[in-house]
C-alpha cells in the first residue's frame, strides 16, 4: 500500500510540473530524444550534421533553466495571463536562436566557457527571481529548494539502480541479449525527464511576501556544531600559517590562494544559511558578527599571493576567475561587516552579474587575459631591445628564460585564442621553428623537465665488508637520522636527506657539515674528466674525514642522487646516504 502511494505521489508531482512548467518539460524531453538519436544514429550523420545537432543539444540544455526563469517571472505577476507567458517564451526562443548563431557558431574553449557562464547565470537567476521584492524567509525557501533537489537526486539514483538490476536479471535468467546502450538510455531518460519533472514539481510556490517554515534540525546541528567550529579552527590555522610566511619570507603563491578561496566561499554559504537562526542562537549571531571582519586579513594575504603570481606570469583566464571570486567574497564580507540591514539575496544576484561580466564584454576573462599577455610580451621584447615601434627585431642572444617566456606566451595564444590576437605579429605567422627564427631570431623554446638530468651514484665497493671503526665512539647509518633527532649522551644528532648534518649540545651547534657541497665538487670533477655517467663512486671519494676541537667525524658515502641543471650548470643534491662515525673529544 505504501509503495502504491509513493508511486501515485510521484505521478502527481510529475503531472504538477507539466502543468506549472510545460515548456521546460517539453525542452528537456526534446533534449533526451536528440541525445538518444545522436548516440543511436550519430555514425550515419555527416560531420557537419553531427556538429549542428550537438550545438542544438547545447541550446536545448540552456533552454531548460531559461524557460524556468521565464515561468517564475510571470508567476510573480498576478495580472499576467497565458498570452504574456507565451510572449515571454517567444522572447526566450529568440534569445536561444541568437545565442546559437552568435556564440555557438563553433565549439571551442571560449564558446564552451561562455556557455558554462551563461548557464550558471540562469541557474542563479532561478534561485533569486521568486524572491525579488519579497521580505523574510528567503533562506528557508532556498533550503527547501536544495532539499527538493537532493531528494530528487536520491529518487533518480534509486530508480536508475532499479532499472539496471532489472535489465541485468532479465539477461541472466532468460538469456535475453539486452543492448548495452539501454543502460545509458535509462540514465538519460531519468536525468532528462524524470529528474527535472520531479524537482520542478517540488519548488515552493510563494504567493506572500514571507516564507515561514521551521528550520531543519539536522541542518542546524550540522552548521552550528560541526561546520562552524571547523571553519573557526581552519581560520586560526591559516593565521598561524601566514605568521610563518611572514617570519620565513617564503611565499608559496599557488597554494595560498587555493587554501583561502574555497574556504571563504564555503564561509559565505554558511553565513547565508545561518541567517534565519541568528535571533535564537548567540553562537550563530557572534559568528556572523565577527567572522566577516576576521577573514579580511586572510583575504588580503590571498590577494598578495595572487599578485606575486600575476606579476611574474601575467593574467590568464584561470587566474582571472580566482581574482574575481576573491573580489566577490571580499565584497560580500564587507557587506556583512558594514551594512546593518542586510538582504541575503544580494549574494546570488551579485554573483550572477559577476559571472556575466566574466565571460562577456571588454572586462571578460578573455579580453583581460589577452591584454595582459600582450603587455607581458611587449615588456620582454623591450627589455631585450627587440622592439622598434611596432616591429619585432630578431635577436638570438637573449637569456634562455626570456626565450621560454616568449614561446609560452605564443603557445598560450595558439591554444586558448589565436595567434592573430598577438600584438606585433603579422598575419600568417605560425608557431614553427622557421617562423620563430625569422621573426624572433630563435626557434620555439619550451620549458622542458629534461633540462635537468637525473643522476644516481653508489659506492663502488661492497658495503657489506668490514669497516674500520678504530678511534671512533659511535657508528650510525644516516637513514636512521633522516628528519628525526637522535640523542647520544648529552648530544643531539640531526641529518637531512640533502646531506646537512648537525651535532648539537642543547641549543649550541658543536659541529655542522653540508655534504651536498662536498658531493657537488666530486661530481664536477667527474664531469671535467668525462666520467659523469659512470654512476659509481670511486673508493677514495666515498670517505670524508673532518673534525673540530669538540668532535671528530668520518663520513662513508654509499648513495647519492639528484638533478643536474643543464641551464645554470648546477648540481642539485636531493638524497645522500652514508655511514657516520663520531668521536667525542
342 shares a domain with 378: no
300 shares a domain with 238: yes
State the average pLDDT over residues 456-461: 77
153 shares a domain with 11: yes
194 shares a domain with 267: no
Q: At 151, is the pLDDT very low, low, confident or very high (cuts 50, 70, 90)? A: very high
Say how far apart CA 402 and CA 472 lie, in whole Å: 53
State the average pLDDT over residues 192-212: 86
Q: What is the pLDDT of residue 482?
A: 79
Q: At 293, is the pLDDT very low, low, confident or very high (cuts 50, 70, 90)? A: very high
The residue out of 341, 360, 379 marking a domain boundary is: 360
Which tens digit of pLDDT belongs to each residue from 471-507?
888 889 888 887 677 888 788 898 888 888 988 888 7
Say how far apart CA 571 and CA 568 lie, in whole Å: 9
Chain centroid to Cα 110, Å, comes to: 18
Q: Is the pLDDT of residue 46 over 60?
A: yes
57 shares a domain with 8: yes
More confident residue, 196 or 19: 196
Question: 212 lies in a domain?
Answer: no
What mean pLDDT, rounded, does the chain reach? 87
More confident residue, 453 or 276: 276
Question: 433 lies in a domain?
Answer: yes
State the average pLDDT over residues 34-63: 91
132 shares a domain with 30: yes
Which tens digit of pLDDT belongs to each residue from 386-445?
998 889 999 988 888 889 899 999 999 988 899 999 988 988 898 888 889 999 999 888
Q: Which of 73-82, 91-100, 509-518 has the lowest mean pLDDT?
A: 73-82
Angle of the 317-338 helix axis to the 253-274 helix axis, nearest 10: 40
DSSP 8-state assignment for residue 341: S
174 shares a domain with 38: yes
Q: What is the pLDDT of residue 57?
A: 96
Question: 275 lies in a domain?
Answer: yes
The residue out of 302, 331, 360 marking a domain boundary is: 360
Q: At 509, is the pLDDT very low, low, confident or very high (cuts 50, 70, 90)? A: confident
For the beta carbon of residue 138, count every other beta carbon within 10 angstroms: 25
Are 444 and 431 in contact by the 8 Å Cβ rule? The answer is yes
Cβ-proximal residues to 457 (8 Å cutoff; 6+ apart), any chain: 523, 535, 536, 537, 559, 560, 561
Nearest partner of 298 among 257, 266, 270, judged by Cα: 257
> DSSP letters along 161-224, please?
HHHHHHHHHHHHHH-----THHHHHHHHHIIIIIHHHHHHHTS----SS----PPPHHHHHHII
Question: 23 lies in a domain?
Answer: yes
Angle of the 228-248 helix axis to the 296-313 helix axis, nearest 10: 50
Share of the chain above pLDDT 70, in %: 92
Q: Is the pLDDT of residue 110 over 60?
A: yes
More confident residue, 51 or 453: 51
State the average pLDDT over residues 66-80: 84
Question: Could you tell me the residue range of the domain that residue 431 belongs to?
Answer: 367-447
Question: 208 lies in a domain?
Answer: no
Burial class (CB in 10 A: 0-12, 13-18, 19+), 197: buried
Cβ-proximal residues to 103 (8 Å cutoff; 6+ apart), any chain: 111, 114, 115
284 grid coordinates? 550563530
pTM of the full structure:
0.74
User: For every residue of 209-253, which 3-state class applies, written as one string?
Assistant: CCCCCCCCHHHHHHHHHHHHHHHHHHHHHHHHHHHHHHHHCCCCH
257 shares a domain with 158: no
Q: What is the pLDDT of residue 294?
A: 93
Question: 207 lies in a domain?
Answer: no
More confident residue, 405 or 17: 405
DSSP 8-state assignment for residue 141: H
Q: What is the pLDDT of residue 145?
A: 93
196 shares a domain with 285: no
470 shares a domain with 442: no
Q: What is the pLDDT of residue 1?
A: 42
Q: Is the pLDDT of residue 59 over 50?
A: yes
Q: Is the pLDDT of residue 529 over 70?
A: no
Which tens digit of pLDDT belongs to each residue from 242-267?
888 777 666 665 667 888 898 999 99
Q: Which of 93-97, 116-120, 581-585 has the lowest mean pLDDT?
A: 581-585
Question: 206 lies in a domain?
Answer: no
3-class SS at 47? helix
Share of the chain above pLDDT 90, in %: 47
Q: What is the pLDDT of residue 533?
A: 46
Q: At 450, is the pLDDT very low, low, confident or very high (cuts 50, 70, 90)? A: very low
Question: 498 lies in a domain?
Answer: yes
Q: Is the pLDDT of residue 63 over 90?
A: yes
The residue out of 416, 431, 447 marking a domain boundary is: 447
Q: Is the pLDDT of residue 38 over 70?
A: yes
194 shares a domain with 242: no
Sign of CA dihedral 477, 481, 487, 491: positive
Q: Is the pLDDT of residue 2 over 50?
A: yes
Q: Is the pLDDT of residue 66 over 80?
A: yes
557 shares a domain with 429: no
3-class SS at 457? strand
Domains of the chain: total: 4
State the average pLDDT over residues 163-189: 89
Q: Which of 86-95, 120-129, 345-354, 488-497 has the lowest mean pLDDT?
A: 488-497
> DSSP letters along 466-489, please?
----TT-SEEEEGGGTBTS-EEET
Query: ∠ CA(511), CA(513), CA(517), 5° rounding?
Result: 170
Amino acid at each position: 500500500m505504501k509503495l502504491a502511494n509513493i508511486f501515485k505521489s510521484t505521478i502527481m508531482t510529475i503531472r504538477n510540473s507539466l502543468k506549472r512548467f510545460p515548456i521546460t518539460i517539453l525542452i528537456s524531453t526534446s533534449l533526451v530524444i536528440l541525445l538518444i538519436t545522436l548516440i543511436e544514429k550519430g555514425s550515419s550523420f555527416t560531420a557537419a550534421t553531427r556538429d549542428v545537432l550537438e550545438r542544438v543539444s547545447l541550446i536545448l540544455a540552456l533552454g531548460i533553466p531559461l524557460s524556468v526563469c521565464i515561468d517564475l517571472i510571470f508567476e510573480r505577476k498576478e495580472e499576467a495571463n497565458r498570452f504574456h507567458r507565451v510572449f515571454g517564451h517567444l522572447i526566450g526562443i529568440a534569445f536561444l536562436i541568437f545565442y546559437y548563431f552568435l556564440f555557438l557558431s563553433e565549439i571551442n574553449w571560449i564558446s564552451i566557457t561562455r556557455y558554462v557562464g551563461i548557464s550558471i547565470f540562469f541557474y542563479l537567476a532561478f534561485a533569486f527571481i521568486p524572491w525579488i521584492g519579497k521580505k523574510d524567509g528567503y533562506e528557508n525557501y532556498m533550503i527547501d529548494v536544495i532539499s527538493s533537489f537532493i531528494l530528487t537526486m536520491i529518487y533518480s539514483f534509486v530508480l536508475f539502480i532499479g532499472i539496471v538490476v532489472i535489465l541485468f536479471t532479465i539477461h541472466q535468467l532468460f538469456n535475453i541479449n539486452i543492448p548495452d546502450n539501454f543502460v545509458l538510455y535509462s540514465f538519460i531518460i531519468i536525468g532528462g525527464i524524470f529528474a527535472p519533472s520531479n524537482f520542478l514539481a517540488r519548488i515552493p510556490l510563494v504567493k506572500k511576501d514571507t516564507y515561514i517554515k521551521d528550520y531543519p534540525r539536522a541542518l542546524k546541528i550540522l552548521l552550528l556544531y560541526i561546520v562552524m567550529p571547523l571553519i573557526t579552527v581552519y581560520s586560526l590555522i591559516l593565521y598561524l600559517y601566514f605568521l610563518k610566511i611572514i617570519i620565513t619570507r617564503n611565499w608559496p603563491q599557488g597554494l595560498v590562494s587555493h587554501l583561502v578561496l574555497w574556504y571563504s566561499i564555503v564561509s559565505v554559504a554558511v553565513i547565508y544559511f545561518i541567517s534565519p537562526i541568528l535571533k535564537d542562537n548567540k553562537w550563530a549571531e557572534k559568528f556572523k558578527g565577527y567572522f566577516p571582519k576576521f577573514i579580511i586579513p586572510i583575504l588580503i594575504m590571498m590577494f598578495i599571493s595572487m599578485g606575486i603570481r600575476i606579476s611574474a606570469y601575467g593574467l590568464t583566464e584561470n587566474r582571472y576567475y580566482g581574482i574575481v571570486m576573491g573580489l566577490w567574497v571580499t565584497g560580500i564580507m564587507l557587506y556583512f561587516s558594514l551594512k546593518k540591514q542586510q538582504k541575503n539575496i544580494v549574494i546570488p544576484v551579485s554573483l550572477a552579474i559577476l559571472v556575466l561580466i566574466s565571460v562577456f564584454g571588454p572586462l571578460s576573462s578573455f579580453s583581460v587575459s589577452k591584454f595582459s599577455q600582450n603587455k607581458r610580451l611587449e615588456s620582454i621584447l623591450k627589455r631585450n631591445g627587440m622592439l622598434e615601434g611596432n616591429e619585432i627585431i630578431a635577436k638570438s642572444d637573449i637569456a634562455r628564460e626570456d626565450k621560454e617566456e616568449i614561446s609560452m606566451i605564443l603557445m598560450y595564444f595558439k591554444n586558448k585564442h589565436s595567434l592573430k590576437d598577438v600584438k606585433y605579429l603579422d598575419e600568417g605567422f605560425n608557431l614553427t621553428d622557421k617562423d620563430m627564427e625569422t621573426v624572433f631570431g630563435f626557434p620555439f623554446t619550451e620549458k622542458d623537465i629534461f633540462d635537468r638530468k637525473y643522476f644516481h651514484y653508489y659506492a663502488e665497493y661492497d658495503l657489506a665488508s668490514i669497516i674500520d671503526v678504530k678511534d671512533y665512539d659511535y657508528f650510525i647509518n644516516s637513514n636512521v637520522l633522516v628528519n628525526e633527532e637522535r640523542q647520544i649522551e648529552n648530544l643531539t644528532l640531526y641529518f637531512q636527506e640533502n646531506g646537512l648534518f648537525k651535532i648539537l649540545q642543547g641549543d649550541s651547534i658543536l659541529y655542522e657539515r653540508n655534504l651536498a657541497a662536498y658531493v657537488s665538487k666530486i661530481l664536477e670533477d667527474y664531469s671535467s674528466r668525462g666520467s659523469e655517467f659512470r654512476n659509481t663512486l670511486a673508493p677514495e671519494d666515498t670517505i670524508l674525514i673532518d673534525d673540530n676541537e669538540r668532535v671528530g667525524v668520518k663520513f662513508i658515502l654509499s648513495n647519492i642522487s639528484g638533478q643536474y641543471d643543464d641551464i645554470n650548470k648546477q648540481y642539485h643534491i636531493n638524497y645522500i646516504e652514508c655511514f657516520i662515525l663520531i668521536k667525542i673529544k
